[in-house]
A and B are shown apart, each in its own frame.
Chain A
């Protein structure tokens, strides 16, 4: 079966209904165990003290903030190229989840930064690119709400998503692009596979990252279903209004 089968809203909703209970359960278990293990079962860092426990929220939310935008980029491109409505609605559905993940990363980063760096905020390349990504999320959501015709809204938000992808890339690689600022390099380099986090912190962190990723997928499935139903109700009323 091709992946394009799920461009059909009915087939997408059937798949979504089947997988969602598993996704919600797996996300709850992974986040619950990851955070409880990290909070109660790991020692303080020798330099950062107990603030290291913020890592179990900060890193997974930052990871999903960037990856949510990439998911929106892929689904936006599918909309622009193949005109599948479900993909445009999936991008729309992901944006509020992405904005909350970005906000959690910014808030936990500020709370962590104050005792470690002596400041809540600095115009550091990574922090600044993350703030711009947050503003792009808000702009993306506002643009969807501002345009009445859904296809036009999908077109324009897809273009905005392409432009915003520059900042999603910068958010991830800002530390490497500009070797300056307060923020440390990534603790979990995807390209090299190496990491700077000790095992005792790594395993609960990994579990928490998996949990946030599963939660993101569960929320996007659910929210896309909601958008499909809203679109369907509007179409039924429009058809009834035209007397068809």
Chain B
């Protein structure tokens, strides 16, 4: 760990907030992507069963 001196709280909180926001963005993106794939598979299956 580098010596951050009197600004340690500012530097660490900037990194924590940024990485948390990026992590939330990536997780929500992946979750929505998986849900969309599953929903498309269902819609295609419904179409095939109707035919």
Contact = CB atoms under 8 A, between A and B. Distances in A.
Interface of A: 35, 39-40, 44, 49-51, 53-54, 57-58, 61, 96-97, 100, 103-104, 107-108, 111-112, 114-115, 215, 219, 222-223, 225-227, 229-230, 232-233, 236-237, 239-240
B29 A108 contact: no
Contacts of A35: 15
B18 A233 contact: no
A237 B41 CA distance: 12
A50 B7 contact: yes
Given A39-B15, A100-B22, A112 B10 contact: yes
Given A111-B14, A227-B36, 19 more contacts: A39-B2, A50-B11, A51-B7, A54-B11, A96-B28, A104-B18, A104-B21, A107-B21, A111-B10, A222-B29, A223-B29, A226-B29, A226-B36, A229-B37, A230-B39, A232-B43, A233-B39, A233-B40, A236-B40
A108 B18 contact: yes
Max count, chain A CB within 10 A of own CB: residue among B15, B30, B39, B50 = B15
B14 A54 contact: yes
Contacts of A240: 46-47, 50
Contacts of B42: 233
A142 B46 CA distance: 31
A38 to B, nearest CB: 10
A40 B15 CA distance: 13
A225 B10 contact: no
A7 B21 CA distance: 31
Nearest to A35: B15
A226 B32 contact: yes
A107 B33 contact: no
Given A50-B2, A96-B25, A103-B21, A112 B14 contact: yes
A233 B43 contact: yes
Nearest to A237: B43
A40 B8 CA distance: 13
